[in-house]
């Protein structure tokens, strides 16, 4: 059974849902830990008014009994508190024409889903039909599913952390982060950066951007530690772990580039400095460096899995760019609706969820198991097989 994730729901609809199938039976889930991940996604200086309305909490509607997975698909729902203000506009069966008219948008925002959604799905009359789904509110569902994957990964000895590496053009760390770099991140700080002492300057920068009607992008780093070697495959291109990671991370709204390890930096280094020496270590092999970011030939190599995601600035601008009103065909300013100035800190949490899903899927593909105890036994047997020639840090639970 493959681990599979489908999400549904509109930004101002009744709720966001995730269907996560392929989770082994027997996994005890911690509801508070899922809610904690949802709260982390909502955190961060520079977010719009929506985050004050929503206090996301997961509601598990299927696949769980007494807090333990049944092996059947999990249905995770995150109700939208804002729904009561939007039901007349977004009701699945009956929309109030006057309320919908007041919320109708027809001048597409450059950089958002509006124009392509109008063309592709025929949503020319009201761009809301496109962007309600394209909105990153959808990532609440991905984060809830990722939180379940994290709980599975924790049992297998894997932990994941993230942090902001750059914001609005100010770099706080050059190159790829290590897990230790990300341990400096304080989740309660305004921006979840790797340099908490520099955050007050960045807060000022965000205030200035807000004042000017501007938005800011940035870079997040995400690292998974304890990933068993051998996840992914070089035998089939679509099973390459680096490819799967890049796809899942790039699929986060507004992420426009992904780097695995020092992928960007090694392009300009000579081969002798780009690769990671293999050295004898204590109880296993160790590496002299981790430029590959834990991936060799599309397979995890037991080192930290390191990913950077580059996020563009939010495309909804209070000083909008030129556009065309699709209702009249005339030049117009792009639509504006309440929006974030920056969402880079939240992006880190979402990319963590993307990593958690891909790693859990690859781990289950390798070790299988209809019950979690089967998965853990297979993992331990694999560790025994690798023995002293395995990676030094690979300690099976």
Is position 69 an interface residue for ligand FMN (rule: CB under 6 A)? Answer: no
- Whole-number minimum distance, CB 89 to ligand FMN, in Å? 18
Is 351 near ligand FMN (CB under 6 A)?
A: no
d(CA 239, CA 232): 5
- Of the candidate residues 58, 156, 194, 252, the single one contacting ligand FMN (CB under 6 A): 252
Residue nearer to ligand FMN on the CB measure, 139 or 300: 139
**What is the spatial distance between Cα 117 and Cα 185, in angstroms, rounded to a whole number?**
37
Q: Which lies closer to ligand FMN via its Cβ, residue 71 or residue 108? A: 108
Residue 257, both tokens:
């580039």
**Residue 312: count of CB within 10 angstroms of its CB:** 15
Helix (H, G, I), strand (E, B) or coil at 48: coil
- Residue in the structure block whose two tokens are 């830990």: 33
Q: How far, in Å, CA of 72 to CA of 158, rounded?
A: 24
Among 17, 262, 343, 360, which residue sits at the site for ligand FMN (rule: CB under 6 A)?
Answer: 343
Instruction: Establish if 315 lies at the interface with ligand FMN (CB under 6 A).
Output: yes
CB closer to ligand FMN out of 38 and 314: 314
Pull the structure tokens for residue 82. 């804002």
Pick from 193, 295, 339, 375 the residue near ligand FMN by CB under 6 A.
Answer: 339
State which residue, 261 or 313, has the beta carbon closest to ligand FMN: 313
Q: Which residue has the tokens 């639509």?
A: 335
29, 314, 326, 335: which one binds ligand FMN (CB under 6 A): 314
How far apart are the C-alpha atoms of 212 and 311, rounded to whole Å? 20
Angle at 260 (CA atoms; ends 259, 264), nearest 5 degrees = 50
Q: DSSP letter at 232?
A: B
Q: Provide the minimum distance between the beta carbon of 130 and ligand FMN in the complex, in angstroms, as a whole number.
A: 9
Q: Please name which of 183, 240, 182 lies closest in space to residue 358, comparing C-alpha atoms.
A: 240
Distance, in Å, from the CA atom of 311 to the CA atom of 189, rounded to the nearest integer, reads 20
- Residue from 253, 290, 295, 300 touching ligand FMN (CB under 6 A): that is 253
Tokens of 232: 């992914």
Q: Find the binding residues for ligand FMN in span 95-154 (CB under 6 A).
A: 111-113, 134-136, 139
Rounded-to-integer distance, Cα 353 and Cα 55, Å: 19
d(CA 6, CA 97): 31
Question: Restricting to residues 32-51, which ones interact with ligand FMN according to CB under 6 A?
Answer: 48
Report, in Å, the least distance between residue 176 CB and ligand FMN: 20
Residue number, 24 or 348, with CB nearest to ligand FMN: 348
In this structure, which long-range contacts are made by residues 269-276, counting pairs with CB atoms below 8 Å and at least 24 apart in sequence?
276/303
Nearer to ligand FMN, 1 or 116 (CB): 116
Binding status of residue 347 toward ligand FMN by CB under 6 A: yes
CB of 351 to ligand FMN, least distance (A): 9
Cβ closer to ligand FMN: 285 or 346? 346
Q: What does the binding site for ligand FMN look like in residue numbers (CB under 6 A)?
A: 48, 111-113, 134-136, 139, 252-254, 314-316, 339-340, 343, 346-347, 350
């Amino acid at each position: 059974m493959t681990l599979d994730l489908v999400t549904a729901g509109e930004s101002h609809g009744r709720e966001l849902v995730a269907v996560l199938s392929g989770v082994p039976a027997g996994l005890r889930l911690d509801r508070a830990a899922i809610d904690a991940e949802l709260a982390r996604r909502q955190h961060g200086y520079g977010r719009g008014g929506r985050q004050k309305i929503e206090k996301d909490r997961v509601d598990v509607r299927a696949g769980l009994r007494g807090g333990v997975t049944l092996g059947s698909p999990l249905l995770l729902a995150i109700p939208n508190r804002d729904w009561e203000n939007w039901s007349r506009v977004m009701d699945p069966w009956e929309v109030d024409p006057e309320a919908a008219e007041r919320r109708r948008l027809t001048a597409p925002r450059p950089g958002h889903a509006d124009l392509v959604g109008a063309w592709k799905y025929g949503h020319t009359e009201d761009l809301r039909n496109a962007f309600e789904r394209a909105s990153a509110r959808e990532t609440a569902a991905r984060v809830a599913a990722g939180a379940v994957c994290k709980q599975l990964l924790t049992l297998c000895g894997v932990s994941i952390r993230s942090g902001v590496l750059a914001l609005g053009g100010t770099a706080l760390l050059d190159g790829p982060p290590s897990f230790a770099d990300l341990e400096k991140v304080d989740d309660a700080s305004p921006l979840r950066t790797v340099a908490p002492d520099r955050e007050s300057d960045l807060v000022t920068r965000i205030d200035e951007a807000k004042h000017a009607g501007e938005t800011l992008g940035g870079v997040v780093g995400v690292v998974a530690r304890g990933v068993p070697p051998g996840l992914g495959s070089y035998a089939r291109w679509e099973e390459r772990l680096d490819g799967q990671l890049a796809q899942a991370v790039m699929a986060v709204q507004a992420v426009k580039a992904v780097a695995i390890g020092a992928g960007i930096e090694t392009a300009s280094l000579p081969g002798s400095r780009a690769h990671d020496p293999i050295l004898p270590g204590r109880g296993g092999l160790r590496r002299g460096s981790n430029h590959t970011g834990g991936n060799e030939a599309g397979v995890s190599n037991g080192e930290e899995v390191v990913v950077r995601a580059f996020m563009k600035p939010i495309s909804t601008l209070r000083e909008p760019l030129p556009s065309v009103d699709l209702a009249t065909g005339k030049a117009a300013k792009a639509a504006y609706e309440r929006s974030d100035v920056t969402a880079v800190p939240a992006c880190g949490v979402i990319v963590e969820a993307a990593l958690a899903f891909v790693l859990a899927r690859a781990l289950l593909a390798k070790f299988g198991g209809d019950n979690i105890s089967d998965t853990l036994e297979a993992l331990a047997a694999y560790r025994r097989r690798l023995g002293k020639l395995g990676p030094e840090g690979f300690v099976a639970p």
